[in-house]
Structure 1
């Protein structure tokens, strides 16, 4: 009898050993992220905590978006809810992209013979664990299906399960740089429309299963295209341009390269949520003054996140410091270039949420853009002179922006 275990047992043991390493790396990196963002996490928990709501009502409310999508109804609601939740899922993965990919340890392990074949399975398993907070609406809907008043439980449960698996698949393909993620996203959107049409529900299930299968068959062919494709900003850099213009073009190129693109999706998703709140606050039940105050407060994280991109630009520019110094380009030029790019980024991201305030404040609402740009400039100056983790200077900047914006909107 052979002393060696069967091949299937060895592969299974190796898979779970690799999964344990990936989970420990993810937990370590994510815990550090939560510790660095403890103020924001605590504030979010206090805001969304429904302490006075019965547990059954909480479960039903959490599962409502999934219920309305699965059971059909308004196509506009289904598409809006699915796009919002999908952007949130992509943003959730983008802010912890390196930890989810496995970081430097996995980049080394995948070069060893035979280990790269475990990558897809490890990624999806890790993403299912990391996405547990995002999958709570599906779990809540599943609990409501167990009630005696629900009909079509098996069909609806299978559709909800198929929907819930779309997010980890899209996240995995995005994190690994494959355009096949767009195929999964497009098939899911078409399935949303099919769920709202009588007699097309079976077609929706085919889309939700066939889209991921086709994407995984094509992912290797499409990954190379995505990674080699680039924005041709570098061609606009030349000797005849001012150094600040060249530095600004290099900053824009650094922010739009593929390795940075998933993290930028998080900003787009957050700006989209702000824009949605600008139109949906009345349906939620907020009073105008409360809604305006919350919307203005929502600009503060956007300001800090955009200004924080300066740290990314600084790291990207680090290898070029000796060359820039030899050309006589000092810190003032790099600061101005960063400021131009980041202020432009803030104005683009904040334009839609600001436009939602036009019915309340008229054209005065657009004064929020220069106010926010000023806050970005102040925060950028703070990042260049003090530790970026200092809390009180940023708190003063946030309070000053909020008070100025509140006066502009409510007392114009």
Structure 2
């Protein structure tokens, strides 16, 4: 694999960089940099600014509304977005459901739902995990019973990110109660405002409201809201999970965070001394930089084998492990850098250095939130099983 970018790719990078410097909403970048909580309107305005440029659904093929970029251009765009400090898109519609919809959905379904995703007027949530079915998703029990031209859905979904922002939720539900494991699961879309749907907030350990529990009590859903064939939902879910696990890479964000850590560490030691001269801290920083570089090369390798719009396959589990462990390593360094300042209250915390844009509270919040990274989206243990069985061909 050639790791050098072509002259055309570097010119594209400059164009993307110029856009985020001059045309992307500056107040959103400032809000991200300050570690402030985002509301739905922030995401919508950010995504609509990208949509106006034609740069929102960057992983979609051109025939479905994407820009038709190469995998290298997509990688460069994602990296520059995060280095600029812009807001990442909410992935459920754009990165997860969209590819399933244009690959397996009917023409009527594509006409109905793709435009709202592409112009960020319709937000989606993902109904996968349940109170008794997390990493072992095949054991889900949320039921959709066929009643004439409708399904009647009963059950619970949990850890549902941004369901409080969503207009629709796509769910894995069991349409054949006599089936076990992967059989009899269907992929159904539900208007989240339907009678019988209740969204219950879950506050995470960082104090933020990202997550929810979603209850379904006799929710009526027309049959035309089912994607593909009845009982084939697990197949569509596996396609989606390839896109989901690849989206965790965030190489640009890790590079930007390491740059902040280095800058702040120069004056963060006792008496304003440089933590970079501390052998233990310097060693941890070096190991983390190597891990991020490994993540970058692995991301490029997996993307280079992927056609535009296609799912990366089971190799994405490798990337998911590397990406989430890198995120935790970086946030651990941040917490160590913050020291006692990390214990200050969010409302009164002072920057470690206003020039570097880090505060103790931000470091602590990131550390706490990142503890979940090796759990959500399929635990590290589950990913290792996938790699052993599906990539290496091993059997117990």
**TM-score, normalised to structure 1's length?**
0.27
Larger Rg: 1
**TM-score, normalised to structure 2's length?**
0.28
